[in-house]
Amino acid sequence: MKENCEKPSEVDARKIAQGLTLDGEGRRLLAKWDAYLADLGNPIPDVDEFEGFGSKANLVRLRRVLAIARPGLLKPIRLALISKSSEEWKRARRNIDAPPEKPKEVPRLSLPESDLPPAWIAALSDMRRAMAAKESGGLMLDPRNPPTKKSLGTMVGALRAFGKACRDCDQAIQLTPSTVDIYRETMSLRGNKRITIAARLKDLGFFAAWVDASPIVREHIDRNFRRYRRASNSDPKNKDIWFRDNPITLSEVWDRAEEKLAAYHGGNPGTARAAWNLLDAVCLALSVVCPLRVGDLHRIEFGTHLVRHDGYWSLDIVTQKTGLAYHRDRLWPELTPFLDALAHMDLPVMPLHEACDRKLGTPIFSRKGDGRRTGDVWPSKCWRRNFGTGEHIVRSLWHTMMFESEEDDQWIALALCGQGNGRTAKHYTLEGRQKRAARRGRGLIAQKLVALKAGQGGRQVPFE
């Protein structure tokens, strides 16, 4: 065996002290494992070696034995167990008749996309092709800028709801000022918030521009969008309500990430629980250091975007929403232990640079280690497990912390969040200055009152 593989008798002293020693069956299984590796030339076991050792039940027993005797060798066994479980699942369903298809639920508030006008369906297909070309880095032949995948999804939903509103009022499905008003009034009657109505009108306006609708229609949509957006400024935002009921800070998020990392290192290696602890730890910590949107966070890959250098990591990615480069040439050193552990996850014992080479081009968030990234909502699911809200809230936490600064440091939050929208950046900058000005004003008033109460100025205190 290699020198980092302990002999069967060299059981961890800490585990002996806890009474975690091998019984006769465990020692026999360990001897069988050693003989198996000896026949293969005593390699450091990887996924293939674990898969070739036996059935899923045999691997489960081996995991309990190695957790006591050889914990440093256990990481790849999780992927072998996933593979065995997948094989069992396929075998069990090989001879089972497929269940009858459930009847498709008829949408109540919208039409199927296929019921939209043919010209609209063709336009949506053009959008999808342009979006795919943009995401793959291909040549953009269409001068129009396509929406992101998420924006296109909400746009399709808005068009389907628009079509249903037109049909319910016996109107043709087409973009006119009157049908836009029908759609807007339908949303109001359903109780949609004004900010929601503004967002759907914005989707409608984007589509109207894409299909080159008449200037009268586009101006009508834009005028209503601006009116609802202004009106929504007085409505309480969901994130403000959440912050009021759940006051958390960035330091609390970081503390939770460190707790998850400690649970990973202190848990049983090669288990799903250990993997989930590490994935959660990295997601929370990376969200604090690089508060990107979920659509960008879940796309990060080893080597492609996230690169290990001598003593530190760097990140370079083009944001999906704005198309702007997000470059951090030296990430915080506090993040290094998280990313180093993630690079080693599910791999046998090896130097860090070899682990990074093994994972080159693979997504950093991969639950099954098969090279497939998690869904784009997975970072928000991680945040909901830990804090009850989505990942996007970390961007608000950064802006809130800069609001509380007495310096004009709003640019720090804007840079960390990769804020490319000029209107949004201006809004946050202005809000930060207003809050600092309000604090300075309250401070000056308080000083004046103290001076007046002390008898300075020769005047009586105007109010108590």
Confidence bin at 6 (pLDDT 50/70/90): very low
CA-to-CA distance for 461 and 464, rounded, in angstroms? 7
3 state SS of 225? helix
Q: Please report, for the domain that includes residue 262, its CATH number.
A: 1.10.443
pLDDT at 425 over 60: no
* Domains in the chain, number: 4
Virtual CA dihedral for 54, 56, 61, 62, nearest 10 degrees? 50
CA-to-CA distance for 212 and 207, rounded, in angstroms? 8
Claim to verify: residue 277 and residue 393 sit in the same structural domain? yes
Residue with tokens 């109010």: 463
pLDDT at 210 over 60: yes
Q: Please report, for the domain that includes residue 175, its CATH number.
A: 1.10.150.130
Amino acid 181 reads D
3 state SS of 97? coil
Give me the pLDDT at residue 211, please: 93
Claim to verify: residue 275 and residue 396 sit in the same structural domain? yes
Give me the pLDDT at residue 404, please: 47
Closest to 294 measured CA to CA, from 418, 443, 185:
418
Claim to verify: residue 171 and residue 199 sit in the same structural domain? yes
DSSP code for 43:
P
Claim to verify: residue 146 and residue 187 sit in the same structural domain? yes
Average of per-residue pLDDT across 271-291: 90
pLDDT in tens, 334-379: 999 999 999 999 888 889 999 999 999 999 988 776 667 777 788 8
Claim to verify: residue 259 and residue 225 sit in the same structural domain? no
Claim to verify: residue 166 and residue 51 sit in the same structural domain? no
Contacts of 94 (CB under 8 A, 6+ apart): none
Claim to verify: residue 263 and residue 357 sit in the same structural domain? yes
CA-to-CA distance for 33 and 27, rounded, in angstroms? 10
CB 306 within 8 A of CB 343: no
Claim to verify: residue 260 and residue 366 sit in the same structural domain? yes
pLDDT in tens, 91-142: 777 776 666 777 777 677 889 999 999 999 999 999 998 888 877 776 667 7
Least confident of 160-169, 278-287, 453-462: 453-462
Residue 222 lies in a domain: yes
CA-to-CA distance for 346 and 217, rounded, in angstroms? 56
CB 85 within 8 A of CB 38: no
Q: Report the run of H or E that residue 64 belongs to, with start and end.
A: helix 56-69
Token representation of residue 109:
């508030």
For residue 246, the tally of other CB atoms under 10 A from its CB is 11
Range of the domain at 85: 13-89
Claim to verify: residue 139 and residue 264 sit in the same structural domain? no
Give me the pLDDT at residue 90, please: 80
3 state SS of 307? strand
Contacts of 297 (CB under 8 A, 6+ apart): 283, 286, 287, 290, 379, 391
Domain boundary among 235, 258, 283: 235
pTM of the model: 0.71
Domain boundary among 56, 89, 122: 89
Segments in 313-421 forming alpha helices (H): 336-344, 352-358, 378-387, 393-403, 410-416
454 or 362, which is more confident: 362
Average of per-residue pLDDT across 329-336: 89
Claim to verify: residue 388 and residue 258 sit in the same structural domain? yes
Domain boundary among 184, 203, 235: 235
Contacts of 74 (CB under 8 A, 6+ apart): 63, 66, 67, 268, 269, 270
Token representation of residue 324:
């702007």
Closest to 128 measured CA to CA, from 107, 151, 110, 112:
151
Claim to verify: residue 83 and residue 122 sit in the same structural domain? no
Claim to verify: residue 69 and residue 195 sit in the same structural domain? no
Phi first, then psi: give them for residue 50, nearest 5 degrees.
-65, -40
Average of per-residue pLDDT across 388-407: 66
Give me the pLDDT at residue 321, please: 78
Distances from the Cα of 8 to the Cα of 5, 12, 389, angstroms: 9, 10, 47
- Is the dihedral angle over the CA atoms 214, 217, 218, 219 positive or is it negative? positive
What percent of the chain has a predicted confidence (pLDDT) above 70?
A: 77
Amino acid 294 reads V
CB 335 within 8 A of CB 313: yes
Average of per-residue pLDDT across 261-271: 88
pLDDT in tens, 31-42: 998 898 888 887
CA-to-CA distance for 101 and 108, rounded, in angstroms? 21
Beta bridge partners of 317: 326
CA-to-CA distance for 87 and 131, rounded, in angstroms? 36
